Amino acid sequence: MSTEENGGRASAGGAQETGVPESPLAELGRLQQALTEAEERARGHWEQYLRAVAELDNVRKRAQRDIEAANRYGLEKFAAELLPVRDSLELAVQSADQVEVDARSLKQGQEATLQLLAKALERLGLAPINPVGEPFDPTRHEAMLAQESARAKPNTVLQVVQTGYELNGRVIRPARVIVAKAPAEG
């Protein structure tokens, strides 16, 4: 009779295969050994479970700390990029108080400050939307007016009234535009 025919029961020593019955003491010893091995495996599994639970708790706590830090310090890069713009504006105000400033130097100072601001916003991932000549896209543009035009195709942007902006590819303010329409037949 094979082990499968015997219901999968075969002793460690092979006593049943030879047809000699196993003594109750030998069977008890075998069962105690099997119990000890099972208890060791169970203890190992319990320790693995406890380590996994502790690791999961550590990951959760670490993620919570990261979220709190991101909320607290998320604008740090933004603020650091805008500080030179603020410095430039302060200098402009101080120089206007100290010396009589002509319109040309005032304009140059404003242009320099605007360039500083544009570069800071660009480094932060903020890009202007300037769609002149492009087809009107309601997801990126807001039509303020439709104007007849013989030069431009209907439904294209003729003029930008207010520049729109995207932050890392996501529209945060659509461009306000004037859209071309076909001239009236008459």
pLDDT band at 100 (very low <50, low <70, confident <90, very high): low
pLDDT band at 29 (very low <50, low <70, confident <90, very high): very high
For tokens 């003729």, the residue is: 158
Quick: pLDDT tens for 111-136: 888 898 888 888 888 899 999 999 99
pTM for this entry: 0.56
Task: Kindly give, in sequence order, each residue whose CB lies less than 8 Å from that of residue 30, ignoring residues fewer than 6 positions away.
Answer: 11, 12, 13, 22
Most confident stretch, 14-18, 54-58, 166-170: 54-58
Task: Kindly give, in sequence order, each residue whose CB lies less than 8 Å from that of residue 88, ignoring residues fewer than 6 positions away.
Answer: 109, 112, 113, 116
Q: Which segments of the chain does DSSP mark as H helices, in order?
A: 15-18, 24-73, 76-98, 103-123
Q: Is the confidence at residue 101, as pLDDT, over 80?
A: no
Domains of the chain, by residue range, sit at 20-70, 126-186
Pick the CATH number of 126-186 from 3.40.50.11900, 2.30.22.10, 2.40.37.10, 3.50.50.60: 2.30.22.10
- Lookup: tokens for 146: 């439709």
pLDDT band at 19 (very low <50, low <70, confident <90, very high): low
